[in-house]
Amino acid sequence: MSTENATLAAPATILDSLGSGILALDLESRILFVNSALARRLKIDQDACVGQPAANLFVSITAGVPQQHTPLYRLHTLLNSPRIQSREVQCTDGAQIIHLREDGGPLRDSSGQLVGRLFAYHDLSWEKTVDQMKSDFISIASHELRTPMTSIKGAIDLILSGCTGGASAETIELLSVARSASERMIRLINDLLDLSKIEAGQMGLKLAPLDLARTAERALRSLRPLAAADEISLVLTPPPSIPLVNVDGDRIEQVVTNLLSNAMKYSPAKGHVAVELWADERWVYCSVADQGSGIPEHDLDRIFGKFQQAGSPLRGAGTGLGLAITRALVLEHGGKIWAESRVGQGARFIFCLPVPPASGT
């Protein structure tokens, strides 16, 4: 092979040597290149794919994916985006579900002209297996811990109520501390069990038409005594007429309550937490804004993870699972949730729920 031919072959050879999958598409979403790692992982013919519409390829790959694993290929939205986007995708090789992290960016020629899109795929199968093992362990451990913790709290409550006779002031103080700690442990256990049920698809939502404004009002009423004790005002902007959403009312009230509690936790004394509702043709939105110290931009996605907190709360450390559960519940309803913030200017959490087809017409 000549030096010139070796030079021309080098880029493809290098890409074929990578362990991660590589896919290049043109502006018409036709396949320009598939490296051998992706071809092997998805059990496809590397050469036969070239020139074929990517939609055909990925429809065949995702055909066996269970309904709850919606195929997530959206080339039309990515081709015109100038920045790199990363997300998790699920597909199948015909035998098993494959979890991949997809990083997509623009593909340009030597003159800088946009000619397509380049994707890199990193196999997440091992990470998913380990994560499932951790979730199973947490679920089993939480089940085993809940009963003895409930018994411990019950025994402490009986002693403090005087049923077993009098106790010294020092004993009562120590038992009060123990009761508070046991209540926090029970909350943590219940949060872990809730999260395990959601992740396992066993939440069992009871869907019914719901007025999100009334749900927000109920959540505010339940938290106003706690907010007043910390000199925090809770304000609900009277919403315009918004359509009903088809959701599990108890779980969506839990979402609003979690967001309000989180906002109160980071709000200064004499601050206020503002709740706002609105809708468009496709979504009903709810936002909860605080006047806290704000969240750094690099933490805006991380805060929805398990046991994650951005900054130090002003009161009540919590379990670190509230936002993870909130996000999981919103996604379980087919909704979206995100955070907006600037350091020193508070934070705003927004979630939206789909408008049922009949309501959106």
pLDDT band of 351, cuts 50, 70, 90: very high
CB 22 within 8 A of CB 102: no
Query: Looking at the predicted structure, is the pLDDT value of residue 316 above 70?
Result: no
Residue 253 domain boundaries: 208-360
Within this chain, do residues 86 and 138 fall inside the same structural domain, yes or no?
no
> Is pLDDT at 66 greater than 80 in this prediction?
no
The pLDDT of residue 195: 73
| Structure confidence at residue 259 (pLDDT) | 93
The answer to whether 255 and 216 have CB atoms below 8 angstroms apart is no
Residues in the chain: 361
> For position 350, what pLDDT does the model report?
92
Residues 270 and 291 in one domain: yes
Does 195 share its domain with 136? yes
Q: Measure CA of the first residue to CA of the last residue in the chain; give whole Å.
A: 65
Tell whether 63 and 174 lie within a shared domain.
no
Mean pLDDT of all residues in 90-117: 77
Say yes or no: 262 and 348 in one domain. yes
DSSP type of residue 301: T
CA distance 111 to 357: 47
> 295 and 260, same structural domain?
yes
Q: Could you give the number of structural domains in the chain?
A: 3
Q: Where are the alpha helices (DSSP H) in the chain?
A: 3-17, 36-42, 54-62, 75-78, 125-160, 169-199, 212-229, 249-266, 322-332, 357-360
Q: Give the pLDDT confidence of 108-142 residue by residue, as tens digits.
A: 888 888 888 888 888 887 777 777 777 677 667 77
Residues 217, 167 share a domain: no
Residue type, 341: S
Residues 193 and 256 in one domain: no
Query: What's 299's domain CATH number?
Result: 3.30.565.10
Q: Record the pTM.
A: 0.57
Which tens digit of pLDDT belongs to each residue from 3-59?
A: 444 444 567 777 777 778 888 888 888 888 888 888 887 777 888 888 888 776 655
Residue 298 and residue 273 share a domain? yes
